[in-house]
Amino acid sequence: MKALEKSKPEEGLWMVEAPVPEIGPEDVLIRVKRTGICGTDIHIWNWDDWASATVPVPMITGHEFAGEIVELGRNVDGLTIGQRCSGEGHLVTHDSRQSRAGKFHLDPGTRGIGVNEQGAFAEYLRLPAFNVVPLPDEIPDEIGAILDPLGNAVHTALSFDLLGEDVLITGAGPIGIMAAAVARHAGARNVVITDVNPDRLDLAAHVVPSVRTVDVSREDLHDIIPELGMSQGFDVGLEMSGNQNALDQMIDALVMGGKIALLGIPPGTSPVDWSSIVFKAITIKGVYGREMFETWYKMIAMLQNGLDVSRVITHRFPAAQFHEGFTAMKSGRSGKVVLDW
Ligand code: NAD
Ligand code: ZN
């Protein structure tokens, strides 16, 4: 099969001929149709410090996918050949305290496809049946291929009650933009999204027209608060940039007793104004991945009930043109980039 692989410990990815994966009794084999390119894949392409310390070579990359089941392991039931599906790319153990409590997303033994295990940038993917998420007919493959990052947005956005609340999202990358759509869908009153990249803010306004975009290199959040009829500030913050200044601004613009869900990953360690967090009595929650499988359930239900994130996909390429796909992602001007296998 064709597969996009980190074949050597250096910058780049290579399209190779790889054997079709053999499945075990609890696995399924998926014919991959569409995949999304993630920031993680860019780290692996660039072979930065994180990637070279984490990813063994050779490794088929990619973890955002949709496809169709073509083979079932002998112990698998409840799934059928021909079933369209996406799937959770975090592979968990079932014997940790967290897993036995049903909190699979907190399993310390989690391994990621396309990072620690052979991934989805390929014609075929082996996946434990446990991780398969069937796709309803009304969700097309290209949306199926971005359910992993939409799930990050949903998991973060639904961390706190948003109904009637004023929500600040820092970082208008694909995940921040999708979180804005989710916050709207979940009944937030005002949704404000910040960035320092005007292309990203234009995309946010295109995907979620009712959101207020703020270029924090030109505008001050303090001016936005009265403009939108808020008196104190934002009730909930969703940090989706990984940028220290964005977190500082968020803490500053939150109400007393405000809540923050942190998805963005800052590079290395960074100073935090803890006294503001204490005096404002702010609650902070770190968010990793998606809840298995409540996030998947909620996001599919929302997509069936009018949530529309389709315009966040800005580029589509045949898998053979992966170079163009990665160039678009690295430009900082794209939303989601989807490859067709
Ligand atoms: P992205 O890099 O495409 O988007 C981040 C955005 O933040 C960019 O548009 C950037 O211009 C913007 N930004 C930079 N400085 C800013 C500032 N001062 N104020 C406001 N915005 C600023 O990333 P993405 O793919 O949308 O992912 C969002 C974040 O979530 C990233 O940090 C990513 O590493 C992280 N992430 C975490 C998980 C997890 O499980 N915790 C999973 C996926 C992604
Ligand atoms: Zn991803």
pLDDT attached to residue 323: 98
CATH code for the part of the protein at 153-286 = 3.40.50.720
Dist CA 198 CA 21 (whole Å)? 43
Q: What is the pLDDT of residues 118-147, one digit of tens each?
A: 999 999 999 999 999 999 999 999 999 999
Q: What is the pLDDT of residues 291-324, one digit of tens each?
A: 999 999 999 999 999 999 999 999 999 999 999 9
pLDDT class of 101 with cuts at 50, 70, 90: very high
Ligand index nearest the alpha carbon of residue 156: 1
Dist CA 315 CA 337 (whole Å)? 5
Among residues 40, 110, 194, 213, the one annotated as catalytic is 40
**63-79: average pLDDT:** 98
- Of all protein residues, the one whose alpha carbon is nearest to atom 32 of ligand 1 is 264
CA distances from 121 to 13, 117, 297, 310 (A): 11, 12, 25, 21
Q: Where are the domains of the chain?
A: 2-146+309-340, 153-286
Mutate to test the pocket of ligand 1, among 38, 175, 207 (most ligand atoms within 8 A of CB): 175
CATH code for the part of the protein at 2-146+309-340 = 3.90.180.10
User: Hey, which bits of 223-325 come out as E strands?
Assistant: 234-239, 254-262, 283-286, 313-318
pLDDT attached to residue 270: 87
173 pocket-lining for ligand 1 (C-beta < 6 Å) = yes
CA nearest to 237, candidates 245, 247, 227? 247
Give the single-character DSSP code of 24. -
Phi and psi at residue 83, to the nearest 5°: -65, 125
194 pLDDT higher than 90: yes
Q: What is the DSSP string of 74-94?
A: TT--S--TT-EEEE--EE--S
CA-only gyration radius of the chain, Å = 20
Dist CA 72 CA 19 (whole Å)? 18
Whole-prediction pTM value?
0.98
Dist CA 177 CA 204 (whole Å)? 5
Using the atom order of ligand 1, give the atom closest to the CA of residue 216. Answer: 19
234 pLDDT higher than 90: yes
pLDDT attached to residue 268: 86
